[in-house]
Amino acid sequence: MNNIYEYYEGYFKENIELGNELKIKKSDIVTNDRKTYYEDQGIESLKQYYVVIFIFYAIVVVSYIICCFAIPNDLSIGKKIAIFVLFIIYPFISSWLLKQIIHLYHKIVDLLPNNAYKNI
């Protein structure tokens, strides 16, 4: 009879521990679902911003082409084409260019003296 009672206590405690683990895992799953929902929402809003920026970029390029030929100016045709080509390749090199600027900034900051009294 004693053995049965010991088994019962062991299984009872194990069931309580498994129940607590199940609650924790359920909570983690709900939290992860919420995180995924908010991440998806953020990605969708970024896509909307991308579309707005792309439309603005397209308007600038088209207006440059129109103004380049409709309004008389002192630029030669070679300079006009060079500026147009820069407009076209700008989206492809802008992230690389930004990365280089940030890298240059960090190099300049590293050359500056550090504050010895600041706890980092």
28 and 64 in a single domain? The answer is: yes
Return the pLDDT at 1.
67
Total domains present in the chain: 2
* 118 occurs within a structural domain: no
Q: How confident is the model at residue 9 (pLDDT cuts 50, 70, 90)?
A: confident
pTM: 0.56
Q: How confident is the model at residue 119 (pLDDT cuts 50, 70, 90)?
A: low
Mean pLDDT for the stretch of residues 35-61: 91
Tokens of 50: 């991308």
8 and 66 in a single domain? The answer is: yes
Domain that holds residue 5: 1-73
Match 């969708």 to its residue by tokens: 44
CA dist 14 and 11 (Å) reads 5
68 and 92 in a single domain? The answer is: no
Is the pLDDT assigned to residue 3 strictly greater than 60? yes
101 and 53 in a single domain? The answer is: no
How does pLDDT run across 50-65, given as a tens digit for each residue?
999 999 999 999 999 8
* 120 occurs within a structural domain: no
* 119 occurs within a structural domain: no
Residues 62 and 88 sit within 8 Å (Cβ to Cβ): no
